[in-house]
Amino acid sequence: MTDRVSIVIVSHSPDVARGAAAMVRQMVGREVRVAHCGGNPEGGLGTNVAAIKHCIEQVYGPKGVAVLVDLGGAETNSEMAIEMLPKEWQANIVVCSAPVVEGAVMAATEAAGGSSLAKVRATAEEMFR
Amino acid sequence: MISNPGTSMPAETSLLVASLIDAGTAAIRTNADALGDLDRAIGDGDHGVNMLRGFAAIAEAREAICALPLSSALEEMGKLLVMNVGGASGPLYGSLLLAMGRAGAGGNASLAKMLEEGIAAVKKRGRSDRGEKTMLDVLIPVQLAFAQACAEGAAVRDAIERVKRAAREGLESTRPMLATKGRASYLKERSIGHLDPGACSSSLLVHAACDAFLESTKP
């Protein structure tokens, strides 16, 4: 599993994050490491920098991590979380500009085949162009 | 008494930091509902409660923050906003304070320079600039007014009045604007005619910071 790109799903809604992660697992089983988080620090709709950072730490590997986000705050908070991680990790983590559910499933499917982080990102973002 | 706001901060800043925390927290507490209403009109409605959560975390750490020099205190407040706000305003205000604090570390940078660095960080974080119906429509005019007041060697009271006016006018300037950043941009032209909630919290916090500055420099 560590020879695959990992996936992190960040949504404003804990339910959406959980559901998207379930859809990813249905597609790729345990071949790809997936972590998800949703909700502000109190559990309401929003995002949480500490939780995002924790998710990335849980699944980080040498092939890198593709982060799928839903709306603006999820993206901004994910960027902030990435900056708080070790410098040598940062170039190996990308936030994909893709719809969170579809993007996560497509990114994970690409990752399961052993593709590079750049290829995983491109596959997720392709559908949104 | 500080005669020129462009010069470095006084060595003893715990009183200033305490005033900043108290004034900022009070401004957000008093106006959280109004910020929520503005955000409900053109966004997701959580700006008030999000800012409240962030400032509650700062208020809780008040004693520890006040023991720090100004630059570290700003950085600590920035971190608390990043970790607690739960919306995009967390990293945006967080980046502002973190960059101001970093610029001020060492004690040689003027407040004008710190503000300039802080606003550059907000622009970068939000990939935004003036005229997009955001907090930058308050912060940029505030920085320009302050820099000009410093360059002219204005007295503290005069500089503060000019900064407050720039904040008020900056906030009002967002009303006719079309939002092109954040949730409000999803409304397209329906965003026109509303004040931007982030510009509003910025204006409130600039006013609070000005009052705190005056309070802490009273003889």
SS3 at position B219: coil
Per the CB < 8 Å rule, is B87 touching A47?
Answer: yes
Q: How far is B2 from chain A (nearest CA, A)?
A: 36
Contact A24, A7 (CB under 8 A): yes
Local structure of A36: helix, strand or coil = strand
The single-letter DSSP state of residue B216 is H
Residue A1 placed within a domain: no
Q: Residue B45 domain-assigned?
A: yes
Residue B5 in any domain: the answer is no
Residues in chain B closer than 8 A to A47 (CB atoms) = 86-87
Chain A: closest CA distance from residue B53 (Å): 9
List Cα–Cα distances, B39 to A81, A101, B136, B206, B210, in angstroms: 25, 26, 16, 19, 25
State the ipTM, two decimals.
0.89
Percent of residues, chain A, with pLDDT higher than 70: 98
Q: Is the minimum CB–CB distance between A13 and chain B shorter than 8 Å?
A: no
Give the structural domain span for B54.
Answer: 14-216
* Residue B152, C-beta contacts closer than 8 angstroms, at least 6 positions apart: none
Query: Could you tell me if residue B87 is inside a domain?
Result: yes
Tens-digit pLDDT profile for residues A61-117: 999 999 999 998 999 999 999 999 999 999 999 999 999 999 999 999 999 999 999
* Interface list for A 53-112 with B (CB within 8 A): 71-73, 76-77, 79-80
Taking the C-alpha atoms of residue A84 and residue B44, their distance in angstroms, rounded to an integer, is 27
Contact criterion met (CB below 8 Å) for B171 and B199: yes
Segment A12-31 shows an average pLDDT of 96
pLDDT for the residue numbered B217: 79
Is B8 among the domain residues? no
Q: Is A12 part of a structural domain of the chain?
A: yes
Which residues touch B185 (CB under 8 Å, ≥6 apart)? B179, B191
Within 8 A of A42 by CB-CB distance, chain B residues are: 53, 86
Identify the pLDDT of residue B218: 75
Query: Are the Cβ atoms of A41 and B83 closer than 8 angstroms?
Result: yes
Structure tokens at A67: 């982060």
Is B184 part of any domain? yes
Report chain A residues whose CB lies below 8 A from the CB of B79: none
Residue A52 lies in a domain: yes
Quick check: is B101 in a domain? yes
Amino acid at B198: G
Supply the CATH number for residue A120's domain. 3.40.50.510
Dihedral sign, Cα of residue A44, residue A45, residue A49, residue A55: positive
pLDDT 10s digits, B117-146: 999 999 999 999 999 999 999 999 999 999
The pLDDT of residue A34 is 98
pLDDT along chain B (219 residues), means of 10: 47 86 98 97 96 98 96 97 96 98 91 96 97 98 97 95 98 98 94 98 98 85
The answer to whether residue B168 is domain-embedded is: yes
Which residues in chain B have Cβ-Cβ distances shorter than 8 Å to A80? 82, 90-91, 94-95, 125
Count of CB pairs separated by less than 8 Å, A with B = 58
Number of domains in chain B: 1
> Averaged over A31-37, what is the pLDDT?
97
Residue span of the structural domain in which A10 resides: 6-126
Q: Determine the distance in angstroms separating the CA of B148 from the nearest CA of chain A, rounded to an integer.
A: 32
Of A61, A64, A41, whose CA–CA distance to A51 is shortest? A41
pLDDT in the model for residue B9: 55
Q: Judge contact between B154 and B6, C-beta under 8 A.
A: no
For residue B32, the domain's CATH number is 1.25.40.340
**Long-range contacts, stretch B185-189, CB < 8 angstroms, 24+ apart:** B187/B42
Q: Coil, strand, or helix at residue A68?
A: strand
Domain count, chain A: 1
Is B44 in Cβ contact with A45 (below 8 Å)? yes
Taking the CA of residue A2 and the nearest CA in chain B, the distance in Å comes to 29
Enter the tokens of residue B98: 């973190």
Residue B3 pLDDT? 41
